[in-house]
């Protein structure tokens, strides 16, 4: 639930008795797409804000945290990523980060709602500056069906950049979908799924993702926490699954000597994110 009162946009998380607010200068855009309500705001201190169905999605100020961790964690966890697929990601921030890797040959971004990308091109142009890269293929389709139809073994890294597991994204948090992902990934394939708040969701959503990935055939999995001020609790995560090998293993030397600029991700940050709080270990191992 969200409200706009006295120029403060507030998203409430009633189940957790908490809320997050941003001071708004003005509303920039509003439309009801075929799939969701899309709003854009100009905030006082966080730049532009995107809201989908009343939920904060990203701001100019802090989106780099999510986009960099969702991109570089899985790409450096694969030995030689060339074929990358992004399910969701209509704001194109993950696409931009993935294309920083010179070894990547093709990236397919499959988002069901073209309106999100068109609005991002206008209000978050810095995230869309790589959309014309010849390696980028933007498709507005049902990602679940696209993965089901993908040739077996055709993908190196699969990034599930979805909204919360409700509405259009609900099917992206399901064991049958993960089984299709497992089939579409190559022998050394890597999958990463945004996995909500460690504080609020470890005992349900994150634990279920681990269980579903194991049932789908992934040999190992690991959750990587990171800060994200505008999301519930201010603390977010992504969960990685590997078809074979250790989910904690990554190309640390390459990550330590990045050939491109980042604002948050480094090899040291990747290494640090491998450490889980004691309560998460108990939940995920229980």
Give the closest residue to 213 by CA, choosing from 245, 247, 179, 171: 179
Looking at CATH, the fold of the domain delimited by 2-59 is given as Spermidine Synthase; Chain: A, domain 2 (2.30.140)
pTM > 0.85: yes
What CA–CA distance (Å, rounded) separates 277 from 55? 27
Please indicate whether residue 161 is annotated as part of the active site: yes
Domain 63-285 carries which CATH code?
3.40.50.150
Helix 175-184 / helix 207-216 crossing angle, nearest 10 deg: 50
Where along the chain do its domains lie?
2-59, 63-285
By percentage, how much of the chain surpasses pLDDT 70? 96
Catalytic residue among 62, 91, 156, 161: 161
Q: Is the dihedral of CA 123, 119, 113, 54 positive or negative?
A: positive
What CA–CA distance (Å, rounded) separates 18 from 83? 40
Q: Write the pLDDT tens digit of every residue in 159-210.
A: 999 866 655 556 666 899 999 999 999 999 999 999 999 999 999 999 999 9
Beta-bridged to residue 108, according to DSSP, are 85, 137
Q: Write the pLDDT tens digit of every residue in 114-169.
A: 999 999 999 999 999 999 999 999 999 999 999 999 999 999 999 999 866 655 55
């Amino acid at each position: 639930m969200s409200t706009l009162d006295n120029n403060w946009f507030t998203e409430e998380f009633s189940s957790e008795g908490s809320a997050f607010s941003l001071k708004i200068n003005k509303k920039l855009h509003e439309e009801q797409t075929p799939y969701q309500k899309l709003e854009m705001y100009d905030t006082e201190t966080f730049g532009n804000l995107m809201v989908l169905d009343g939920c904060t999605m990203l701001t100019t100020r802090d989106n780099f945290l999510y986009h960099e961790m969702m991109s570089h964690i899985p790409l450096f966890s694969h030995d030689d990523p060339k074929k990358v697929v992004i399910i969701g990601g209509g704001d194109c921030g993950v696409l931009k980060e993935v294309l920083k890797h010179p070894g990547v040959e093709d990236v397919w971004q499959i988002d069901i709602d073209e309106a999100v990308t068109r609005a991002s091109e206008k209000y978050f142009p810095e995230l869309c500056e790589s959309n014309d890269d010849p390696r980028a293929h933007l498709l507005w389709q049902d990602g679940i069906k696209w993965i089901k139809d993908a040739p077996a073994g055709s993908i190196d890294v699969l990034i599930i950049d979805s909204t919360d597991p409700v509405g259009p994204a609900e099917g992206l948090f399901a064991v049958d979908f993960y089984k299709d992902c497992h089939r579409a990934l190559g022998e050394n394939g890597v999958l990463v799924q945004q996995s909500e708040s460690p504080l609020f969701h470890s005992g349900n959503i994150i634990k279920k993702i681990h269980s579903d990935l194991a049932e789908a055939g992934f040999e190992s999995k690991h959750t990587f926490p990171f800060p994200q001020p505008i999301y519930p609790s201010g603390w977010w995560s992504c969960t990685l699954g590997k078809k074979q090998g250790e989910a904690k293993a990554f190309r640390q030397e390459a990550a330590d000597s990045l050939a491109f600029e980042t604002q948050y991700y480094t090899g040291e940050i990747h290494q640090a994110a491998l450490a889980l709080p004691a309560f998460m270990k108990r939940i995920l191992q229980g």
